[in-house]
Structure 1
């Protein structure tokens, strides 16, 4: 249970030390932060280590298809008003990476942990969280992840016996269904821009009826829960009806949604909305996302979009046409090797922008843009795209490993 301050056993200490050593070797070899390999080594030596390093913490788990890394950062900043926080801020969100992050937080009071959707129920069993934030579910990594309703069902089953406070987005029917098996839920009207994965009722399969922000099933009666918290324009509405201004350095409606969820989570730990939201101003970028960098005497803004829902939100952020846009798509293991999701993205939103296409799967993306009636140029690499782009800040949109490639190229 959180609050247990018993020291680690000799075996656990050995596992932590070995994991840190493995991570250091990985960093020295230039293979990234080492958090994943360090966690794997540590868990080999002590399979129960994740539960042990979380035992003294009040833990928040954050899971979703989109926005979990940013929301984890926002919650962590808000909770620092109440005490020291340890978090997997770099996004290593499977058990090995989570174990590495928590192993470095012996002096922390809170653990704010992003969790990959597939691992949520298992991690929740291990770390006994005080709160779990559920943001959204949409199609992603189609070769690896379960169909969204199946994933929601796994969450529903896994969370049914949890004692944690579930903070859930009631505007996403899949999230509402997954969370409604829990006894203790705080509902947040955080919005849902992408609706194409939630037209049928997750409970019975009937067609959902939608009107404005409301939704419901005429067949079984499953409907949108009444929210206690809500995003309203540039304000968070709390359960008492008070409106608190959102002031973020992160752009877009999606990040206001993330801030609303974060304020509701922080309030459960005694952090007042005003204080929590004020602290979120300090988050300027998240693992390079939204950074504006100088490259080849041009300004580039780096934007991450991993799936149709993410691309839809990202299109709303880019400068108006004719701002040049570089698009980069890979299909490596961390991205999912199935690129059929490209056909679910409305690329007509890019009409009027000079488009430049790079990345491992640039030809897949080129075919999709051709069908969408867009003019574009296929380039060998970022350097060629930047050299060919007309004047103005260049918006660079990339999926996961393509984004990491671009960050390395621009020195970010």
Structure 2
């Protein structure tokens, strides 16, 4: 277990104080939580601050293309059964935001930290984690993120020789390739709905064979490891063969998979699966995701989908027609400015739903839907889109900044 925190050095104290002041100014100016600018200021004054604020904590790092914010929240809830937790719960997942989060955890025992895929190796080097959870890798933000195999290679190099327990998804070949360099891996059968980024072997480039739920490379022998934890329907199977019911208020198969990985992480810290899964039930929404809000006398459910794999999972949450759907896509810095990924999404799954299209890149999305043969109407903004839908439930799916825009409009 982590020890008691030692007093920060005078330089570190100055950096933390200056960072908090910068964050307060940012909040007062209405420019968000201030965690990122606060962290940047603090790290400029003390480049070693991240390591210093983390040294007394048992750190868990969570990284993936999809699901890391939710999984971070689920792990944090589970570990609170054993002690205090500090976490970057709002998703500021680069070094500056992580530094801000950990700087506020002087009394905590655990640090549960979501990490952007590109920064995993760097952050792991600074904070010496006890555990690292790896969920999935798929195409995302094509203008700023490396190709998926390059990210897997970065992870593989960064994990080589790590003393952390790596809890990794056995169903994603890219994750398995990355995690296999670590000497201590716990494999979880968490599933993989989106397979289009893992048809070739990351080890040799050969074509992957996928019989049933298995996978292997027929050329070099790289294959799916035997998992010790597994998602089975509505239950988590632990290494002893016991089945534990998943108790979530969050919807969908993907969140059951996140809960399975979270239970495996919690077990590494001595929290029994039953306790971990019961505590996860308290999570009803994550940074606004899955919230249902009343707006214009309609019930709007807010769903986040940032890339093809995320959209595929989100479509599975939507009931059969005729539930209306609002789709919103932006292409700002936080989203990635390249919208070519829209062509990798199978929008025919929305056939039969009344669809309204909004967002900065609504015309890009409209062209994609036109080609897919899906009926839709383009609306000027979120208010117009909601008014165009009949009374009752509306499903609203948006990528990152479009989701934030939508939350501001509907009052969530």
- Pair in the same fold by TM > 0.5: yes
Aligned to 1:77: 77
TM-score (norm 2): 0.99
Quote the offset at 1:2 in angstroms: 4.4
- The answer for the alignment partner of 1:256 in structure 2 is 256
Query: Where does residue 361 of structure 1 map in the other structure?
Result: 361
Match of 2:171 in 1: 171
Q: 3-state SS of the aligned residue for 2:181?
A: coil
Mapped contact 1:2–1:54 kept (Cα < 8 A): no
**2:286: which partner in 1?**
286
1:221-240 correspondence runs (5 A) = 221-240=221-240
Quote the residue 1:244 is aligned against: 244
TM-score relative to the length of structure 1:
0.99
Contact map agreement 1:319 1:395 (CA 8 A) in 2:
no
Residue 271 in structure 1 maps to residue 271 in structure 2? yes
- 1:328 corresponds to: 328
Query: How many angstroms apart in 2 are the aligned matches of 1:168 and 1:35?
Result: 29
Which residue matches 2:38?
38
User: In the aligned structure 2, how far is the partner of 1:66 from the partner of 1:188?
Assistant: 16
Deviation of 1:353 (Å):
0.1
Cα deviation, residue 390, structure 1: 2.0
Deviation track 1:101-144 (CA, whole Å, cap 9, x = no partner) reads 00000000000000000000000000000000000000000000
Separation of aligned partners in 2, 1:285 and 1:390? 25
Shift of 1:161: 1.9
Q: Contact conserved, 2:326 with 2:357, CA < 8 A, in 1? A: yes
The secondary structure found in structure 2 opposite 1:96 is: helix
Structure 1, gaps ≥5 residues long: none
**Residue 22 of structure 2 is aligned to residue 22 of structure 1:** yes
Q: How does 1:10-409 map to 2 (within 5 A)?
A: 10-409=10-409
- What is the distance in 2 between the residues matched to 1:2 and 1:404? 36
Runs of 4+ in 1 over 6 A off after TM superposition: none
Q: Report how far residue 223 of structure 1 moved.
A: 0.1
**Deviation, structure 1 residue 22:** 0.6
Q: Could you report, residue by residue, the CA deviation over 1:274-332 in whole angstroms, capped at 9, with x for unpaired residues?
A: 00000000000000000000111111000000000000000000122000000000000
Unaligned runs of 5+ in 2: none
* TM-superposed deviation, 1:241: 0.2
C-alpha distance in structure 2 between counterparts of 1:75 and 1:5, whole Å? 22
- The Cα of 1:4 is off from its aligned counterpart by 6.0
Aligned length: 412
Distance 1:201 1:101 in 2: 37
Contact kept? 2:5, 2:106, Cα under 8 Å: no
What value does the CA root-mean-square deviation take over the aligned residues?
0.8
Aligned residue for 1:214, secondary structure, equals coil
Give the drift of 1:392. Answer: 2.5
CA drift of 1:157 comes to 0.5
Give secondary structure in 1 for the equivalent of 2:166. strand
For the residues of structure 2 that align with 1:215 and 1:19, how far apart are their CA atoms?
Answer: 47
* C-alpha distance in 2 between matches for 1:249 and 1:196: 29
Q: Which moved more, 1:402-411 or 1:360-369?
A: 402-411
> Contact (CA 8 Å) 2:187, 2:226: kept in 1 or not?
yes
Q: Distance in 2 between matches of 1:11 and 1:328?
A: 45
Q: Distance in 1 between matches of 2:5 and 2:100?
A: 19
User: Whole-Å Cα distance in 2 between the matches of residues 268 and 3 of structure 1?
Assistant: 18
Q: For 1:244, what is the secondary structure of its paired residue?
A: strand
Question: Is the Cα–Cα contact under 8 Å of residues 169 and 187 in structure 1 kept in the other structure?
Answer: yes
Q: Quick check: 1:4–1:55 contact (8 Å CA) kept in 2?
A: no
SS of 1:236's partner is strand
Partners of 2:22 and 2:9 in 1: CA distance: 20
